[in-house]
Amino acid sequence: MAQAKFAQIKQFILSRIETGEWQENDRVPSENQLTELFACSRMTARRALTELVDSGVLERTQGVGTFVAGLKSQSSLLAIRNIADEIKDRGHGYSVNQLELTQIEASTAVANALGLELGSPVFYSVLVHCEQGLPLQVEERYVNPLLAPDYLQQDFNLHTPHEYLSAVAPLTEAKHTVEAIMANELLQQRLAITASEPCLQILRRTWSRQGVVSFARLVHPGSKFKLGGHLTFAR
């Protein structure tokens, strides 16, 4: 089956970025230029550009043009997305190292975050998500076993915790805080960074209709990651 035109356009752009032909801040072809080049509709060209902008590969400035975004991987501060999808949308390879998957007793901080009693059993996982074989995120997650009872039976090489939890306890609310931190020795080892590199830490709680589902600590190396978002306000 022939590849859809919008997918061809995305691959065309991604391949030129990957090979270094197009560098950070270079202007990419306009919708009209892509329409002519691929003999497609302007709507198709717009879809390809929009999806690459949404995934952080490109940046668009109204009235100026569309450009290759900064080299750091970017996630939206306004949306909860699956990190595997984010990486794949950039045209990069995704892999994961599962370091821990077990049951523990809730500490005071974890019990408060999940709305449970101190010492209650909770599920605990630690994963390192990689982009192009390099660590991009350490995910340390505490899960309410009442809302995700089969969490410990999952193979997170096949799907991420986000995918599983979204299926069994659909997200209705999320709250997160972001701060810059310096990594301890364990984080340095897991992220393959030096002691002098700052990190970006996201603390996130997610809810379903039944209550708090999970509490996660997500840590990224500062040199490889940034957060962004776009808000549109009605007049």
End-to-end CA distance of the chain: 45
162-209 pLDDT per residue, tens: 999 999 998 888 888 889 999 999 999 999 999 999 999 999 999 988
Over residues 132-159, mean pLDDT: 95
β-sheet bridge partners, residue 39: none
CB-based contact 55:76 (threshold 8 Å): no
CB-based contact 204:218 (threshold 8 Å): yes
pLDDT band at 221 (very low <50, low <70, confident <90, very high): very high
Give residues with Cβ within 8 angstroms of 137, minimum separation 6. Answer: 83, 128, 129, 218, 219, 220, 225
Distance CA 70, CA 57 (A): 8
CB-based contact 66:48 (threshold 8 Å): no
Distance CA 117, CA 104 (A): 13
Distance CA 27, CA 60 (A): 10
For the chain, the domains span 5-68, 73-227
Does the structure show a pLDDT above 50 at 131? Answer: yes
31-57 pLDDT per residue, tens: 999 999 999 999 999 999 998 887 778
* CA dist 47 → 20, 209, 229 (Å): 23, 33, 19
pLDDT band at 59 (very low <50, low <70, confident <90, very high): confident
> What are the two backbone dihedrals, phi and then psi, of residue 201, each rounded to the nearest 5 degrees?
-110, 130
- Give percent of the chain with pLDDT exceeding 90: 58
209: three-class secondary structure by DSSP = coil
Q: What is the pTM of this model?
A: 0.69
8-34 pLDDT per residue, tens: 998 899 888 877 888 888 899 999 999
Question: What was the pLDDT predicted at 2?
Answer: 66
pLDDT band at 78 (very low <50, low <70, confident <90, very high): very low
Over residues 198-224, mean pLDDT: 91
CATH architecture designation of domain 73-227 = 3-Layer(aba) Sandwich (3.40)
Question: What was the pLDDT predicted at 231?
Answer: 46
Q: What is the dihedral of CA 141, 223, 88, 227, to 10 degrees?
A: 70
Over residues 154-169, mean pLDDT: 93
More confident call, 230 vs 100: 100
Where do the H-state alpha helices sit in 152-227? 161-168, 185-191
pLDDT band at 229 (very low <50, low <70, confident <90, very high): low
**Cβ atoms within 10 Å of 66's Cβ, excluding its own:** 20
CATH architecture designation of domain 5-68 = Orthogonal Bundle (1.10)
Distance CA 140, CA 144 (A): 14
Over residues 62-84, mean pLDDT: 70
Question: What was the pLDDT predicted at 174?
Answer: 86
